[in-house]
Structure 1
Amino acid sequence: MDYLHVHWRHEAPDAPVDIYSELDEDRWEVRKVEVFADGTAQYADDWRATGRTGLSEVPLPSFEEIAAQRALTPAVIDGAEFERMWARATGD
């Protein structure tokens, strides 16, 4: 698995500012956590989802393609960091 954190700079209150994704070898999202400016978090996996958060319907673009978008700052993270965010969002 690969793990990605994307910080999204915008001013829309109903859109997440931080997105954490667990990706399979083909870059399909397996699990996702979205964190909003007010600190609330929503999540999704194959079996459950909260709020409007859902897994992407297409594989995620490459790191370079994401980084080329001015409003997005991607970072590769490790599984432990993703698990911390997942636990925070799900209460698991």
Structure 2
Amino acid sequence: MKYLKCKWIHDFMNEPTIIISEIDENRFETRKIEIFRDGKFGLAALNLEYMNTRLGEVPLPDMDEQFEVQSISSQEFNEMWRDKIQSFIRLLKD
């Protein structure tokens, strides 16, 4: 697995500004976190879609100049994933 944190440089109000993806050896997303300007977030995994966040249906392409991409560790990804899942569970309870 590889882990990417992408800052998406754009002016769209309803699109995420940060996309954090876990991708397999064929560059398919297996888990994804999207973070929006207002602090809201979306999650996607094989059995989860929250806030209209979905896994890509094709391999993740190379990123262009609209994205600032950095590799992150599996530990970093998993810490962010756990944090967002816990927030998601709290939202479901409210």
> Which band: TM-score by shorter chain?
0.7 to 0.9
Given that 2:45 and 2:54 are in contact with CA atoms closer than 8 Å, whether structure 1 keeps it comes out as yes
Moved beyond 4 Å, runs of 4+: none
User: What corresponds to 1:23 in structure 2?
Assistant: 23
- Give the alignment's TM-score, normalised by structure 2: 0.86
- How do 1:3-18 residues align onto structure 2 when only pairs under 5 Å count? 3-18=3-18
- Give the alignment's TM-score, normalised by structure 1: 0.88
- How do 1:1-92 residues align onto structure 2 when only pairs under 5 Å count? 1-61=1-61, 65-66=62-63, 69-91=64-86
CA offsets 1:16-55 (integer angstroms, 9 cap, x no match): 0000000111111000000011111110000011011000
Structure 1 residue 88: Cα displacement? 2.2
2:66 partner amino acid = A
SS of residue paired to 2:48: coil
Work out the CA distance in 2 between the residues paired with 1:42 and 1:7.
Answer: 15
Matched length: 87
Work out the CA distance in 2 between the residues paired with 1:84 and 1:12.
Answer: 28
The alignment's C-alpha RMSD in Å is: 1.2
